[in-house]
Amino acid sequence: MKKYTAVIFLTILLTFLAGPVEAFASFDISSQKAILIDAQTGQVLYSKNAHTASYPASVTKIMTAVLALERGTLTDYVPISMRASYIEGSRIYLLEGEKVTLEQVLYGLMLESGNDAAIAIAEYIAGSVEEFAVMMNDKAVQLGAKNTHFTNPNGLHDKEHVTTAYDMALIAKHAMTLPKFREIVNTVRYIIPETNMQDTRYLYNGNRLIKNTSDNYEGANGIKTGYTTAAKNCFVGSAQRGGREYITVILNEPNNRALWSNTKALLDYAFEGFAQVPVVEAGEVVDSVESLGSKSEVKVVTEQGFHYNYPADGEKPGIQENIVMDTIKPTIHSGERVGYIEYSIGDEIVGTVRLIAQRDNGQSNILASGMLKGETGSSKTGLWGLLLVLPVSLLAFRFLAKNRRRRRSMYIRKRNIFNRK
């Protein structure tokens, strides 16, 4: 069965705004390298020199924590080497040979910004700092952080250790999808109980937005501070209110007071200057495909939801929905990606949502493999298999044609529904 791709363009008129915000028309902050994004979709709401290279200092540790959570086991004891114990800068004073778990070390990494914790994690995950840096860079590329290059897990100054505000926003966006990461960065105080070598330790978060300080911010839930002489003050922040969540990044800010005030200004800009319109929900049925050789159907649903941030005032634009279906195969597993939807305004793509197959009856395939090949190796079974090829092929062509017609009519109905809203 030949591969085919069905591409259907559909203009959906939505009642939301995309023009500049009048109340914030001249909005700006004093920090020279900054970005504000939607934490779920990655939509950029504010950007200033966001693609300019900068030293990241300890916000590097966001990536270190990501790799630790994705590749490590929280209950594992992390070997503490001499190199980790004697690293310069901020530390939680790990001792060579001390017995601490990965979970405890992670809290020391993100709350107290322990450089010793970062080295210990790198050696635990990759065997060496150098190999861990390779893993960090591979992950950065995977996340789309193409202008980032890490040489260490802690952010201590190195001319080759650079990133951008945009790249750090992408890394933080991914990090906040990890439940344990979210828990750690929203913790004000953590206790490491007495170990084989040290008494109880109390760790305190350096993020002023989540603490009872003058910089406390409603809904703040992360993420990481950083400072070196070369990098100056850096901060990746986040806040969530009423189901809306935003991420900020400020790099290379010489004034610590401005770091916090500008972060709060960015978050205010997001929550007060924008609203969200849901475009599609996770699990929404886009189409259904009839099973070959039976009357059962497999639904095509959205893998995740998508919403769009629009300004408080402005003109109403239209959003264009471009649905692309991949090859329809005789065998499709539940959960398998079968296409995607692109949402755009004019020529700009503002979001992409993947489409997956979903069965209601719990079966995994559209077409059982036994239909095309015998259950035994006998020549008689093989003959029956050959005899089935022709009718199954004819059925497949009828199936494709029918589903093209059904898909077309389904989209027309969807257009009418949107136009009535």
What are the catalytic residues? 58, 61, 113
- DSSP code at position 245: E
Contacts of 255 (CB under 8 A, 6+ apart): 30, 233
Phi, psi (5° rounding) for residue 99? -100, 105
Query: How far apart are alpha carbons 167 and 45 in whole angstroms?
Result: 15
Task: Indicate the residue type of 237.
Answer: G
Query: How far apart are alpha carbons 332 and 290 in whole angstroms?
Result: 11
DSSP string, 49-101: STTS-B--GGGGHHHHHHHHHHHS-TTSBPP--HHHHT-SSS-----TT---B
Question: Closest Cα to residue 345, out of 379, 384, 309?
Answer: 309
Question: Closest Cα to residue 233, out of 34, 27, 28?
Answer: 34
Helix axes 61-71 and 129-142, enclosed angle (nearest 10): 90
CA atoms within 13 A on the CB side of 80: 25
Query: How far apart are alpha carbons 13 and 40 in whole angstroms?
Result: 23
Please say whether the beta carbons of 110 and 224 come within 8 A: yes
Please say whether the beta carbons of 138 and 48 come within 8 A: no
Query: How far apart are alpha carbons 388 and 367 in whole angstroms?
Result: 13
Task: Indicate the residue type of 160.
Answer: E
- DSSP code at position 351: E
